[in-house]
Structure 1
Amino acid sequence: MMIRIERDKTGPVEVPSHAYYGVQTMRAAGQYPKVNAPVHGQFIKALACVKSAAVRAGIDQEIVPGRIGNLIMKAADEIKEGKHSEQFIAGYIHGSSSHLLNVNLNEVLANRALELMLEDKGNYDLIDPDLHVNGPHSADWILSTSLNVAAHQLTHKLVSATEGLKYRLWMAKERLEGQRQGNSTDPVMNVPARLTRTFGESAKQLQLDAARLAEAASRFKRIRIDSARDAVMPQANRELTERTVSYLRHMTRIEFFAASRWDASSGSKSVYADLSSVLKTLAVNLFKLCSDIRNAASLKGSATSPESRRFHESAGFLHQICVLVIGYDHIISLAEEAGIPDEETVPPIIFYHVLESLDIMMKGIDSFAGSLTQEQDDADPAGIRR
């Protein structure tokens, strides 16, 4: 393997020549044991989005030269598109915080920008990962803001998935009731009458759960400015942060706003734990629905068709995901009780499990809703055309 030599204050480090990460990432990653827990892809994209907004604000404030800043933003756009994912070698649980992840991204953006300039990777005299990419922002601010972006985006995707499942359950209930009233011999899913009622009850509950999720997501729009109760950022840094949030609002089309951490709207210290609690409630409600479906499948004469088996298997898949989400909420609650979060940082153990809960719940609901829709289409092919 070809290598290049990069140096920091501690000395030289061998870095793979193809790598966009650099000396600080290599040195820091070597200090911690390997944990097979990669950082969530949505978080990496959100992190790149925040970096791009910060660099654009830095250009306005003449902290970052225009040409360099534009190339860094171009590199960030590539990461937002899902490129260079293999360049993030920091696991989510490295160290007591995830500053390593911030360093990793700084170096990836700097080296990719250098490559776009047809310069050698590691030429940090030209593009400095700390000065040009990170700027005066603290790693804690970058990471917590990125988590706000990722959590808001994933929560709204989950809201859409939840509302879609609500609609499909309600339509299935109406269809089954109509068939029974008409003495049809062609049931959609071979389900007993009590399960049909469960579909309706679950649809109503999902409507409430979707509303709670949307309300929890709205709290992520608030981006803090102050780093401590008794310390006010220098005015230039405050203006830079406000400008960064403004660009972030434009880029994401989410109404983020900058505010002091200690203003009256701050609410609970941990919006992430609150969101996890809402996710647990959703998981418990879906767990009951899946249990009823699986119990119905065990009845004699039920679930005999391939379509019905697929539906019940999908319910079993969602059933297990609900157990995972409930378990993740327990982990987050333990972290809260142990006092792991402080006033400025969100520890990796919390942000990893919040994002993972959102992601797997969305996938589970989409899979289950898809099997439910397929059941209806298989029973009534004309429904596809309609």
Structure 2
Amino acid sequence: MSKLMRTEYDLLGACEVPAAAYYGVHTERARRNFQITGTAVSSFPDLIVALAAVKQAAAQANASLGLLAPHKRDAIAAACEEIRAGALHDQFVIDVIQGGAGTSTNMNANEVICNRALEILGHSKGEYQFLHPNEDVNMAQSTNDVYPTAIRIAACLAVERLLAAMAYLRGHFAAKAAEFAPLLKIGRTQLQDAVPMTLGQEFSAYDVMLGEDIARLREAEALIREVNLGATAIGTGITAHPEYAARAVEQLRLLTQLDLSSSPNLIEATQDCGAFIQLSGVLKRTAVKLSKVCNDLRLLSSGPRSGLGEINLPAMQAGSSIMPGKVNPVIPEVVNQIAFEVIGSDLTVTFAAEAGQLQLNAFEPVIANALFRSVRHLTNGCMTLADLCIKGITANPERLAEGVERSIALVTALNPVIGYKMATAVAAEAFANGTNVRQVVLDRGLMTREQLDEALRHEVLIQPRACVPAGRNP
């Protein structure tokens, strides 16, 4: 053994590991094998915290059954507490994309926890005769129940932050809806003039859309709180005490403060990725709707002089290296791109979940990577959109009012009074002559000015109303 390295052994033989490293031989081989993305599992701190919680819960459950000595339990628990508090995350060096169904990540956790626990017990790293990564830290466990359980816990932690970010963004849309409530404008369908609405109603719809997605996300989160800890290799619980699963899950509930439950059928739970598919689908739904909202913002602010120009987005940076004075909608654009990525990640999750075979899905690493990236980017996107865009949006009242008066679609509000056929004639004349609906109706003597003002009153235009057609009984 050199001064800078220590030698460890596995079924393949000897392997040198950096002497200062808390990880061991299994992690070192995987580190060399999987140089794929350049992104280590430590990039997802929630997963490291979740793995430490699982190992701590397992140690406590095994000790309560008389299977793990109290001094070993205490050392393992102390090491796990440190990791859950943020220590040693840099020792989780395995690439997020890896073969082996997550075994490398599980062994990375076993070795780091074991070597830190050895130090706590007064021993050196690698002195596994006193505490062993497999026999003690991994007691009554398999990658096949530890890894998916940790993914679910990590997903819950990450989703809670996303929910908070979505609620924050929703609050900003609600504030703008209230601010813009008095401003009448023309709605549009298929990018053509439709009927009047208020700018407040337009922004209120975004508030409601986010609220719906928050509810769907909470439903999806409830599904991932069901774990398969205690299933061990394929769900039969081999090598675990009959009471281990219940005790370990209860300990995990206490440690994480999450409403976790044990799956009623551990064989099914070990091979099924349905909850991940559901969560990914809801993330995609959220991304699609956020992207649609950002499309709207870019359209409504287009111009500013030669486009719709109904709202102004905050100017965040110069928009061109060649066109002086140009400012682009960079915040909605970045959220659009997040959405594109999340949509693609959902397809990755779908294929990976489908590719499972028999009693295990070997592709949960790429599922975890896709889910965690989607949640993180959506969380950051919601906060960025709220703070750097929605909060600073202003309206152009003159442009909004001009659009209402010029729009031929305003004649729709007169359908119940003058009838569809006459309204069509009014629309055609206004379009042909380049005038507005009000003028044509008055010129034809179809309504008095007072009647017309009442029919086109702000409050009347934006909500249902009872109306008796002219010259006919209801």
Structures share a fold, TM > 0.5?
yes
Q: Equivalents in 2 of 1:110, 1:237: separation in Å? A: 22
For the residue of structure 2 that corresponds to 1:368, the secondary structure is helix
Determine the structure 2 residue equivalent to 1:25.
27
Larger deviation: 136-145 or 73-82? 73-82
Which residue pairs with 2:360 in the alignment? 344
Q: Is the 8 A contact 1:227 1:344 kept in 2?
A: no
Note if 1:315 corresponds to 2:317.
no
Q: 1:159 to 1:235 in 2, by over 3 A?
A: same
- Would you say 1:123 and 2:127 are equivalent positions? yes
Partners of 2:34 and 2:95 within 8 A in 1? no
Is 1:357 the counterpart of 2:374 in the alignment? Answer: yes
- Summarize deviations over 1:281-303 as a string: whole Å, max 9, x none: 11111001111112223222459
Q: Is the 8 A contact 2:181 2:201 kept in 1?
A: no
1:223 is aligned, of 227, 236, 252, to 227
CA distance in 2, matches of 1:289, 1:107: 47
* Structure 2 CA distance for aligned equivalents of residues 316 and 26 of structure 1: 41
Q: Secondary structure at the match of 1:238?
A: coil
Look up the match of 2:162: 158
Give the alignment partner of residue 137 of structure 1, picking from 134, 141, 147.
141
Residues in 1 aligned to 2:390 and 2:64: alpha-carbon distance in whole angstroms: 50
Corresponding position of 1:366: 383
Correspondences of 1:231-310 after superposition (within 5 Å): 232-233=236-237, 237-261=241-265, 269-301=273-305, 302=309, 307-309=314-316
Equivalent position SS for 1:126: coil
Hey, what's the Cα distance between the residues in 2 that align with 1:274 and 1:304?
Answer: 36
2:10 maps to which of 4, 8, 11: 8
Please say if residues 40 and 94 of structure 2, whose CA atoms lie closer than 8 Å, have aligned partners that are also in contact.
yes
**Alignment-derived partner of residue 187 in structure 1:** none
Structure 1 position 29, deviation (Å): 3.1
Q: Are the aligned partners of 2:152 and 2:224 in contact in 1 as well (CA < 8 Å)? A: yes
Q: Is the 8 A contact 2:206 2:293 kept in 1?
A: yes
Which consecutive unaligned segments of at least 5 residues does structure 2 have?
185-196, 318-327, 395-474
Aligned to 2:177: 173
Deviation digits for residues 121-169 of structure 1 (CA, Å, limit 9, x no counterpart):
1000001001111102111100011111111222222122212211210
Distance across 2 between alignment mates of 1:335 and 1:263? 19
- 1:333 deviates by 1.9
Tell me the matched-pair count. Answer: 364
Q: Which is bigger in relative contact order (C-alpha 8 A, separation at least 6)?
A: 1
Tell me which moved more, 137-146 or 112-121: 112-121
Q: What is the TM-score with the length of structure 1 in the denominator?
A: 0.85
Q: Distance in 2 between matches of 1:201 and 1:7?
A: 62
Whole-Å Cα distance in 2 between the matches of residues 276 and 76 of structure 1? 29
Residue 328 of structure 1 and its aligned partner are, at CA, apart by 0.6
* 3-state DSSP of counterpart to 2:241: helix
Give the secondary structure class of the aligned counterpart of 2:7. Answer: strand
1:216/1:275 contact within 8 Å kept: yes
2:280 counterpart letter in structure 1 = S
Compared CA separation, residues 10 and 309, structure 1 to 2 (3 A): closer
Backbone CA RMSD of aligned residues: 3.0
Corresponding residue for 2:458? none
Structure 1 residues 306, 284: CA separation in 2 closer, same or farther (over 3 Å shift)? closer
Q: For the residues of structure 1 that align with 2:260 and 2:288, how far apart are their CA atoms? A: 31
The structure-2 alpha-carbon separation of the partners of 1:330 and 1:232, relative to structure 1 and needing over 3 Å to count, comes to closer
Aligned mates of 2:14, 2:233 — CA distance in 1 = 36
Equivalent AA in structure 2 for residue 144 of structure 1: P
Q: TM-score, normalised by structure 2?
A: 0.70
Aligned to 1:326: 343
Which stretch of the first structure deviates more once superposed, 360-369 or 196-205?
A: 196-205
Partners of 1:294 and 1:35 in 2: CA distance = 34
